Amino acid sequence: MNYRLSTILDRELHSSDTTKVIDITLADKVSRMVVLYEPLNGAEAEPAAHPAKCISKIELVDGSDVLYSLTGQEAQAADWYSNLREPGNLMCYLNGMTAEMVYNINFGRFLYDPLYNFDPKKFSNPQLKITIDIDGGGCTVASGYLTVQAHIFDQRAVEPVGFLMHKEIKDYAMGAGTHEYTDLPTDFTYRKLFIKSQKYAAGLEYSFGKIKLTEDNDRRIPINHTIFEVLKAIVSNSPKYQEMIITHGPGLANRYYYNTPCYWPIFTSTGWTSSATPQAVNAYEGDGGRFLCCNTTAGNNLSHLCQGYCPHGTVEIPFGLQDDPADWYDVAKIGNLKLDITAGSTMSSSESCQIFLQQLRSYAAA
Amino acid sequence: MDFVEYISTPADTTEAEPLVTTLKLTRGRLTGGAVYFPAGPAGTLHVLVRIAGHQICPFNRGQNLRLNDCVFPLSIGIDILEPPYQVDIVTWNDSTLYAHALTISLQLQPRARKNQTLKQILKDMAAEEKAGEKE
């Protein structure tokens, strides 16, 4: 068979915060790694956060060389924008049931991309490091299951020229209307730039003012737009992210739950019970990744179809035709590349912003 | 060259919402450093260092330094060849009564040229030698 799904780590129970370090001993080239984490919900309560936050960091390193470094939420957002297809998540908040969070680490433009994939033999000791924050998300979570798999080239011989590298560049506290200047790396070609911020009950249009990308002190300014323009002209090129969310029925007392799309999420909610009990259900807010819900009969579980933009508060800025590497943003000849992000006027130091990149790392330069 | 930062962390600064101090560096290789823990914190003051979200000191994620009345030497060995040239020093303080301070120093070997390869270094040395002969 040309391709195979290989198990790197069989389903393993964790009941405390830990960083799982896995030596990558695969000989075959890897197109995609799949990290699956299942936080087990405890007693019914308002959730701590989105279940994706139970994985606080995923890193692929070779000694001190960082090949992939994103939080769980960033990993899901980068995966969504790369594949424009939702991962196989199960957003379940019910007690005694697990949520199922899938974090795809994509090394190519698509699954089994023969040109771009991860060749472990090019590195001396690649290690996958997964940091688990047991109660980082979900409802009163005290344990969870971790599984790691890899889509590998089995009998098909491919000669990759590089792989897509993902790295968080900066994580900073915002301020009201303040500028944050970030010098960006100019080592490898950019395929995508991501900017992420979440403020509950506020959409992305309130998080940022303007986004400006400038080369060599304004010699060239490839991007200089308000967040509203970016959302309407760039982000809306992507389809809506949609997911099913299963929650408790909190009754007439409102309760917050967490959702993935953060810009204009809209909910279609109904009962999720074995009996056909008529009831009124309401779900509101959702901007920033948290929604309020209530229903007429406490105890009747609910299902919500959520659709919206910007998963985990992430805005994508793609460069060039995404299937043509020659068309991506070659930054090697730029002396200084600066990103100037203006925060929204209602932001404060309680909110943070993350900048992360998807770059083409060639093996010739490794 | 040495970069030094004195950081006072207020009481009740939690791990979930720590104090993050950004130390601006320059292009080069981080080779080492030291953390100076004064007498007093008794293990309540924690510190770790990150580049973006990637923890470099201590290198094993999930761990941190929390000591008292000692100097802890750092051995790093990490290239910072692309901007942003900075590290985040993350501290938190379990004490409910007192702020605690520490001093951290980082040693960096500067690297002037962007694409400094061994081939380029040898070329530069040969040029310098030639210039010396002319003098």
Task: Tell me what pLDDT residue B117 has.
Answer: 65
Task: Tell me what pLDDT residue A95 has.
Answer: 95
Q: Is the pLDDT of residue A278 over 80?
A: yes
A123 touches A112 (CB < 8 A) = no
Per residue in A300-342, pLDDT (tens digit) is: 999 999 999 999 999 999 999 999 999 999 999 999 999 999 9
CA distance B86 to A197: 21
Per residue in A23-69, pLDDT (tens digit) is: 999 999 999 999 999 999 999 999 999 999 999 999 999 999 999 99
Q: Which helix (H) or strand (E) holds A206?
A: helix A204-207
**CA–CA min distance A206, chain B (Å):** 23
Per residue in A136-170, pLDDT (tens digit) is: 999 999 999 999 999 999 999 999 999 999 999 99
∠ CA A314-A318-A321, rounded to 5°: 150
A196 touches A77 (CB < 8 A) = yes
User: Is the full-model pTM beyond 0.95?
Assistant: no
Q: Locate A230 and state its tokens.
A: 């970016």
Q: List the single range of A17-21, A205-209, A274-278, B93-97 with lowest mean pLDDT.
A: A274-278
Q: Is A225 on the interface with B (CB under 8 A)?
A: no
Residue type, B107: Q
Nearest to A168 among B53, B62, B114 (CB): B53
Q: Is the pLDDT of residue A347 over 60?
A: yes
Q: How many residues does chain A have?
A: 366
- For each of the domains in chain A, give its residue range(s) and CATH number, in order of start: 1-160 (2.70.9.30), 168-366 (2.60.120.730)
Strand partners, B100: B9
A308 touches A149 (CB < 8 A) = no
Among chain B residues, the shortest Cα distance to A337 is held by B83
Nearest to A170 among B59, B77, B84 (CB): B84
Distance from first CA to last CA of chain B, Å, rounded?
Answer: 31
Query: Would you give the DSSP letter of residue A365?
Result: G
Distance of CA A112 to the CA centre of its chain: 21
For residues B111, B115, B120, B121, the Cα torsion angle rounded to the nearest 10 degrees is 10
List chain A residues with CB under 8 Å of B49.
none
Residue type, A198: Q
Q: Locate B96 and state its tokens.
A: 């409910």
Q: Is A167 on the interface with B (CB under 8 A)?
A: yes
Q: Is A187 on the interface with B (CB under 8 A)?
A: yes
CA distance B50 to B63: 12
**In terms of Cα–Cα distance, which of A139, A57, A68, A52 is closest to A100?**
A52
Strand partners, A244: A305
CA distance B39 to A27: 51
Q: Is A69 on the interface with B (CB under 8 A)?
A: yes
Per residue in A163-204, pLDDT (tens digit) is: 999 999 999 999 999 999 999 999 999 999 999 999 999 999
- Give the pLDDT band of residue A364 (cuts 50, 70, 90): confident
Task: Tell me what pLDDT residue B40 has.
Answer: 94
Q: Please give the average pLDDT of every successive group of 10 residues along chain B, which has 135 residues.
A: 97 95 94 96 96 92 95 94 94 97 96 67 79 72
A83 touches A127 (CB < 8 A) = no
CA distance A234 to A136: 31
3 state SS of A79: helix
Q: Is A171 on the interface with B (CB under 8 A)?
A: yes
Nearest to B62 among A66, A131, A170 (CB): A131
CA distance B74 to B69: 16
Per residue in A211-268, pLDDT (tens digit) is: 999 999 999 999 999 999 999 999 989 999 999 999 999 999 899 999 999 999 999 9
Q: Is A182 on the interface with B (CB under 8 A)?
A: yes
Task: Tell me what pLDDT residue B115 has.
Answer: 58
Cβ of A18 and B62 within 8 Å? Answer: yes
Q: What are phi and psi of A364, to 5 degrees?
A: -65, -35
Among chain B residues, the shortest Cα distance to A17 is held by B62
CATH number belonging to the domain at B2-134, selected among 2.60.120, 3.30.2000, 3.90.1570, 2.40.128: 2.60.120
Among chain B residues, the shortest Cα distance to A66 is held by B54
Rg (CA), chain B: 19
List chain B residues with CB under 8 Å of A167.
52, 54
Per residue in B28-45, pLDDT (tens digit) is: 999 999 999 999 999 999
Cβ of B60 and A186 within 8 Å? Answer: no
Q: Is A71 on the interface with B (CB under 8 A)?
A: yes
Q: How far is CA A41 from CA A27, A135, A248, A282, in A?
A: 37, 9, 12, 23
CA distance A202 to A310: 13
Nearest to A167 among B52, B59, B60 (CB): B52
Among chain A residues, the shortest Cα distance to B59 is held by A64
Domain ranges of chain B: 2-134
Q: Look at strands A30-40 and A143-153 and give their pairing.
A: antiparallel
List chain B residues with CB under 8 Å of A173.
20
CA distance A249 to B126: 77
Average pLDDT over chain A, rounded to whole? 95
Q: Is A184 on the interface with B (CB under 8 A)?
A: yes
Cβ of B84 and A183 within 8 Å? Answer: yes
**CA–CA min distance A171, chain B (Å):** 6
Q: Locate A120 and state its tokens.
A: 């472990």
Please state the ipTM of this predicted complex.
0.84
